[in-house]
Structure formats: structure tokens, C-alpha cells
Amino acid sequence: MPDGSTITVESQEDWTAIRDWYNVNPDSEERPTLQFPVDITYETEDGDTTLTVNNDEEMEYVKSRCWEEWGDDDECFEFVLPISFTMPDGTTITVENEEGWLSLREWYVNNSETEEEPLLQYPVNIILFDDEGEETTVTINNEEEMNALEEECWGNDGEGDRP
């Protein structure tokens, strides 16, 4: 941690220790430093795979590969950033770049008891991709329009697909 203390995370519940540290140290803006090596588990088509990461460079590579693979998964649109979400506790998270999506994940790690979804603040602009690789920018004005777009893209009811 920024003060030199160590917190070991062995399960999902252990993330609360990090949240507790920041609650006790509210003025700290520094992020914790990973102590390598660390094992990460990720999903593949053949099941979960565990990989040992030995340093910051390897971690950056793994994160970039993960983002690339995640972004290629039947994507028919992407958000034009920045976009903002109202979180279940009333706070606002603004995603200004690709790394900003991690802020949403971190919020859920720090609020693991919450099952509510964030609310996307409308209107938002999105880029639609067609089968020929053409792009069109459109404005989505409300949740109903977003659900219709998601249903068209992924053939479901549009629930639960957004971060």
C-alpha cells in the first residue's frame, strides 16, 4: 500500500481490506503496488486458465491483450467517450478513455455488497459498426433506445450487457 503496509488478496472478500485502508487514509491518492509474481485467472473458450505475471511490463501486456480480446467480442457499437454513470450510491463516474472503464470495476470491488446496476447518463453518442466495416455515429437518448440497440446487436433483452 502507499504507506508501505502489505495487504494480501486471496479471495474476493479480501478486497474489502483495500477499501478499508482507503477509508482510514482518505487523503491518499496513490494506488497500491503489486508484489510480483502474481497469478491471474482468465476465461478462455476451453475454460479458465491461470497465468503467472512476473513484473509490471508483463501485467501491462496481459491487460492490453485482455482489452483487445474483450473489445472484439461481437462488437456492433462503441461509446463515444466521455460518458458518465450514476452509481447506486449516488456518485458519478465519468469514463474519459479506455482505462476509465476500470473505475467502474473498482467501484464494484469497493462496494461488493451492491447488486444494483449503474445508470448511464443520457444522451450518449455511439458509433455503430456494420458488416462491411462502415461506421455511423448516432445519439441514444434514453434507456429504451439503448435496450433496443442492444437487442438488435446481441439478440437478447438488452439487460446486463453494459458494465
pLDDT for 88 beyond 50: yes
Greatest C-alpha distance within the chain: 53
d(C-alpha 133, C-alpha 130), whole Å: 5
Query: For residue 13, what pLDDT is reported?
Result: 78
DSSP secondary structure string, 92-108?
A: EEEE-SGGGHHHHHHHH
Write the pLDDT tens digit of every residue in 30-48. 888 889 998 888 776 677 8
Comparing CA positions, the residue from 44, 32, 42 lying closest to residue 6 is: 32
Tens of pLDDT, residue by residue over 51-74, are: 888 988 888 877 777 765 555 445
Average pLDDT over residues 79-99: 91
Kindly tell me if the per-residue pLDDT of 148 is higher than 70: yes
Confidence of residue 116 (pLDDT cuts 50, 70, 90): confident
pLDDT (average), residues 92-121: 83
Residue 163 grid coordinates: 458494465
pLDDT at 163: 43
* Residue spans per domain, the chain: 12-71, 77-154
Burial 96-119 (b: 16+ CB within 10 A, else e): eeeeebeebeebeeeeeeeeeebe
User: Does the structure show a pLDDT above 80 at 17?
Assistant: yes
**C-alpha cell recorded at residue 112:** 461488493
pLDDT bucket at 126, cuts 50 / 70 / 90? very high
pLDDT given at position 157: 43
Model-level pTM?
A: 0.52
Share above pLDDT 90 across residues of the chain, in percent, rounded to a whole number: 28
Of the pLDDT bands very low, low, confident and very high (cuts 50, 70, 90), residue 160 is very low
